[in-house]
Amino acid sequence: MLVCADKFRGTVTAREVGEAVAAGAPELDVVVQPLADGGEGTLEAFGGANRTTTVTGPLGEPVEADWALRGSRAVIEMARASGLLLAGGAEGNDPMEASTVGTGQLIATAAEAGADEILVGLGGSATTDGGLGALRAMAPLARYRGIRLEVACDVRTAFVDAAAVFGPQKGASPSQVKLLGRRLERLAQVYADEHGVDVRGIERAGAAGGLAGGLAAAGATLHDGFSLIAEAVELYDMIEAADLVVTGEGRLDESSFAGKVVGGVASLAAAAGVPVVAVVGQSALDDPPIPVIDLTERFGDRAMLDTAATIAEAAASFSDAPWR
């Protein structure tokens, strides 16, 4: 059995989901592969962090940012350096000043450490600076010509739309959203003039408040986050070798099947002819396209208070489940 779930935000990590399934079904041979769609959890999907660097946080304070370097591939989560939680959430954030400088510092550190491939997972950002802070910290950009910059995005938002779509979530008032939008429009022209890249025409360029677009201007390639991670960890081969695939996330809704982990895993499992079930904290779908175990429906408030235990209890019935 392969367990390849996303995190349940605020309760358990993707790896803890797998460990809970294994604890609940000790008679089964369980393989755990944590997944993410490009946001938080990307590091865990690649084996976790093995390095820590002090960088400039989103509001200028120093933060200890975890990242990974294995062989010549570096993996960075921008949220570890420029994330909204580091700014104290929307209430503590200054959306006009929040900067991606720290993410750029991590990328520069990875390049200096000898990485020839740098994968940056976007998601959970405090910022709407269009990646300008990151690019300034990465200078000189010429040093990245021999390095593959791969960016895992969890949204398809356009560059100039990032302020309107995500600004309110980062604490921006309506007037600040308008100012941030105009700033992104000006910055798009700067990138076109200075780098010859029109970020306005690149899908996903608005991810992480436009950081994706800024990195694209520096030569990065933007990817669908789930697809990039699934290919990198050879997920299809793992699914093909399993007799059952278990995926999951905290809340299942229509977006779960539009580029997110659950939908991506379900598609790969269907292609491989392997049964799949999703274990979720709560489902908002009346008729999901795959079997779903809704922990809130089954266990009530315990699903939030002790998620790992309820996952393990649900997994106890996997041996004789009808979808095996």
The whole-number pLDDT of residue 138 equals 98
Place of tokens 């399934």: 21
Give the model's confidence band at 324: pLDDT under 50 very low, under 70 low, under 90 confident, else very high.
low
281: three-class secondary structure by DSSP? strand
pTM: 0.92
The number of residues in the chain equals: 324
Give the model's confidence band at 77: pLDDT under 50 very low, under 70 low, under 90 confident, else very high.
very high
Residue-wise pLDDT for 157-214, tens only, equals 999 999 999 999 999 999 999 999 999 999 999 999 999 999 999 999 999 999 999 9
Identical fold, 2-35+234-320 and 42-226: no
Residue extents of the structural domains in the chain: 2-35+234-320, 42-226
Supply 230's token pair.
């699934």
C-alpha span between 55 and 280 (Å, rounded): 35
Residue-wise pLDDT for 215-274, tens only, equals 999 999 999 999 999 999 999 999 999 999 999 999 999 989 988 999 999 999 999 999
Tell me: pLDDT of 131 over 70.
yes
Tell me: pLDDT of 295 over 60.
yes
C-alpha span between 176 and 174 (Å, rounded): 5
42-226: CATH topology: Glycerate kinase, domain 2 (3.90.1510)
2-35+234-320: CATH topology: Rossmann fold (3.40.50)
Taking the mean position of all CA atoms in its chain, how far away is CA 321? 31
Give the model's confidence band at 93: pLDDT under 50 very low, under 70 low, under 90 confident, else very high.
very high
Q: Give CA angle at 19 (17, 21), nearest 5°.
A: 70
Contacts of 202 (CB under 8 A, 6+ apart): 159, 212, 213, 216, 222
Neighbours of 236 (CB within 10 A): 14
The whole-number pLDDT of residue 259 equals 82
Whole-number mean pLDDT of the chain?
95
The whole-number pLDDT of residue 191 equals 98
Tell me: pLDDT of 288 over 90.
yes
